[in-house]
Chain A
Amino acid sequence: MLLGPALAVSAILFSIGVAGVLLRRNAIIIFMCVELMLNAVNLTFIALAQQLGPEGQVFVFFVMAVAAAEAAVGLAIIIAIYRHRQTLDLQYINLLRG
C-alpha cells in the first residue's frame, strides 16, 4: 500500500533535515533537523516493513530508543555550552579554530 509515495515523502523529509543541518546556525535547530532525519528513516522502515516483514518495525523501536538517548546527552551538552558562552549560535562558538 502506497510504498512509492511513502518512500518519496521520507526521502523529501530526509533531504529537508540534511539541508537544515547544513544551512542553519543554531545548535537546537540543527539538532531538531537531525531528529527529522531519523524520523524520515523511521518512515522508510515502516513503509518497507509492510512488504518485507516485521524486521523493519523492530528496527524503528531501536531507532526511537537511540534517538531518545541522543536527545538526553545532546541537550545536556547544549546546556553546558550555553552556560559557558550565553549563545547557541555556531557562528560565535569558534574557540577551536586554526
Chain B
Amino acid sequence: MGHLDLSTASGMTLALLPEVMLSAWAFALTLYAGVRHRDAVDQRRAGLIALAGLVATLIVVIWMWAADVRSVGLPFMMALDAFRWATSVVFLLGAILTVLLSFSYVDRERLWAPEYYVLLLLATVGMMFMGSGLDLIVIFLGLELMSVAVYVLAGINRRSPFAAEAALKYFLLGAFASGFFLYGIALIYGATGTTNLTLIDYQLRSLGLGTNLMLLIGAAMLLVGFGFKIAAVPFHMWAPDVYDGAPTPVTAFMAAAVKAAGFAALVRVLLHALSGALPAWQNIVWWLAVLTILVGNLIAIAQRQMKRMLAYSSIAHAGYLLAAVASGNALGAGAFLFYALAYTLMTIGAFAVVAMAGHNGERDLLIDDLTGLARRRPWLAIGTAIFMLSLLGFPGTAGFMGKWFILQSILQAREHALAVVLVAGSVLSAGYYLPVVMVMFMKPPVSETAHEQVAARGAGRLVVAVTAICVLLFGVWPNPALDLARSGGHDLASSPQAPVSSTSGAER
C-alpha cells in the first residue's frame, strides 16, 4: 500500500481500518451478549471474543505502522502518522491487559454482565480516535465515546454503593470537564474560523493570533478540560475517590489507558495546532506539572490503602508526563510515548497484584496487609517489587528509562527548575513505594494463614508475568521501543504546514 487516496471510499475505509474493525467487533459482541448473558461461561466467552478483537486490531495497527501508510496530500480528519500508531498500540495493549485481568476478577466478584467487555472495546475505540483525530470534532467525539463508556464501567458493580458513588463522581466531574473542553473548542473556532488542527496552526501563524485573547481563553478552557481528564492538580480531586470505588481492573484501565488517551490528545492539540502560541501555554503547563508532581507525591506518602496510594501515585505520574509536554519539542512527544508505554505496563501490573491480593472491591487492602508476602507467594512478591521499583524510577526498569528521556527533553528545552522538581518528586515517591517492598520481603507473615486467599492463577498470573518481564526488558534494552517512540514524536512536531490556498472563514 503506502499511499492512500483519502478522497475515495476505499482509501478512507483503509485509513480508518483499525477503528472500523474494533467498532464492528464491539457491535457483534453486543449482539452476542444480548443472546447469551446467563452465566459465567457466557461471560468468559464474551471476554475471549473481546480479547480476539483487540488482538486482531493490534495486529492491523502494527501492520499499518510497518507498511508506513501515508495519505496523498494532507489528511484532514484522521492523522496517518507514527504518533497515531504508537498511541493506538499503547491503548490496545492497555485494553488487552485489562481484559486478561478481568477474567478471574469478574468471576470472583460475580460481575456477570457481558456488556463489561463491550464497553471496554468502545472505550478503546474512543481512545484511538483521540490519539488520531486531526480535527477538534473528532477528538471531542472520541473523548465522549471513551468517557461515557468508562462512566458505566466505573459503576458496573451494581451491588456496591462504593462503585455507584465512584461512577456518580466520575460522571459529574467528567461532564463538567466536557463543558470546558467544548467551550474551548468554540472559542478557538471563533478565533481561527476552523476546527481543523492543521488549519488552526496555519491561521495562528499567518494571522499572528499568538496573543489573541479569544484564542488564549479558548486554549485555557481546553487545558482545564484536559486537566480534569488526566487528573492534573488542581483538577485531581475526583481521581482518588473514583479509582478507590471502581472495580480494580477498571481502575487499572482508567489509570493507564484513559489517562494516556487524554495525554495523547493534549500533546497533539498543543504541539500540532497551538505550537504558534507556545510561550502562552508552556508556562501554564509548567506550573501544572510542578503542582501535580509535588502534590501527588506528598499526599501519596500519607496513604495506607494500596488502591488510594496507587491513585495518588498515578496523579504524580501525570505530573511527569506533563513535564514532557511542557518541554514543547519533538523529544518531549517521543518521551511521552515511551513513558506512556512504560507507565501502562507497570500500573496495570501493580493493579493486577491489588486485584489478586484483595477481595470485595479491594477497598480495605492496606499496604501492611502485604506483610510477609514473599514467604508465601515469592513470585507475586517479586513481580510487585519490580512494579514498585519501576514506578519509583529505579535504574534497570522501564520507569527509569522513561524518566531519563523526559529529563532529556526538559533539559533540551532549558527548563532546569522543572528537571529539579521531577527528580525531587521521584525521591519523595521512594517514601511510599519502598515500604511496600519492605513489608513484603523484610517482615514475616502476621499469621499462619496469612495470604492463603491470595490467588495468582490463570490470566491474572499471565498479566503480572508479562508486564514484569516487559518492564525489565524495556529497562535494560529500551532502544527499539525508544526509536519507535522518537519517530512518533518527530512525526507530530514536523507535521506538514497547511497549503496557502486554504479556504477558511476568518479570511472572508
Contacts and interface: CB of A to CB of B under 8 A. Distances in A.
B182 A63 contact: yes
B222 interface: no
B175 A31 contact: yes
B195 A21 contact: no
B175 A27 contact: no
B182 A41 contact: yes
A84 B155 CA distance: 12
Interface in B275-297: none
B183 A59 contact: no
A77 B179 contact: no
Nearest to B187: A44
A43 B470 CA distance: 50
Interface stretch (B159-167, B248-256, B379-387): B159-167
B460 interface: no
Nearest to B241: A96
Interface string A56-81: 10110011001001100110111011
B165 A74 contact: no
Contacts of B167: 77, 80-81
B183 A40 contact: yes
Residue from A14, A40, A63, A95 whose CB has the most chain B CB atoms within 10 Å:
A95
Contacts of B435: none
Given A38-B182, A44-B187, A53 B165 contact: no
For chain B, give the interface size range.
Answer: 35 or more
B142 to A, nearest CB: 11
Contacts, number: 126
Given A48-B189, A70-B148, A81-B165, A14 B172 contact: no
A51 B189 contact: no
A80 B186 contact: no
A12 interface: no
B152 interface: yes
A55 B189 contact: yes
- The SS class assigned to the B binding surface is helix
Interface in A1-51: 7, 14, 17-18, 21, 27, 30-31, 34, 37-38, 40-41, 44-45, 48, 51
A71 to B, nearest CB: 9
Contacts of A96: 162, 165-166, 169, 240-242, 244-245
B167 to A, nearest CB: 5
A16 to B, nearest CB: 12
A84 B241 CA distance: 17
A45 B419 CA distance: 41
B171 interface: yes
A45 B420 CA distance: 43
A77 B137 contact: no
Contacts of B151: 73-74, 77
A73 B504 CA distance: 36
- The SS class assigned to the A binding surface is helix
A73 B189 contact: no
Contacts of B241: 96-97
A51 B186 CA distance: 13
Contact of B162 (A7, A52, A95): A95
B140 interface: yes
B505 A52 contact: yes
A66 B186 contact: no
Given A51-B505, A55-B195, A95 B161 contact: yes
B189 to A, nearest CB: 6
A7 B213 CA distance: 14
B161 to A, nearest CB: 4
Contacts of A85: 161, 164
Contacts of B144: 66, 69-70
Interchain residue pairs A-B with the least CB separation, the first 7: A37-B179, A52-B505, A96-B241, A84-B161, A44-B186, A41-B182, A34-B175
Interface of A: 7, 14, 17-18, 21, 27, 30-31, 34, 37-38, 40-41, 44-45, 48, 51-53, 55-56, 58-59, 62-63, 66, 69-70, 73-74, 76-78, 80-81, 83-85, 93, 95-97
23 contacts: A7-B190, A14-B183, A18-B179, A21-B176, A27-B168, A30-B172, A41-B179, A41-B186, A44-B186, A52-B506, A53-B504, A53-B505, A55-B189, A59-B186, A59-B195, A66-B178, A70-B175, A74-B151, A77-B152, A81-B161, A81-B167, A85-B161, A96-B241
Given A62-B141, A73-B171, A77-B155, 20 more contacts: A17-B179, A27-B168, A30-B172, A34-B175, A34-B178, A40-B183, A48-B186, A51-B508, A59-B137, A62-B140, A63-B182, A66-B141, A69-B144, A76-B152, A77-B152, A77-B164, A77-B171, A85-B164, A95-B161, A96-B240
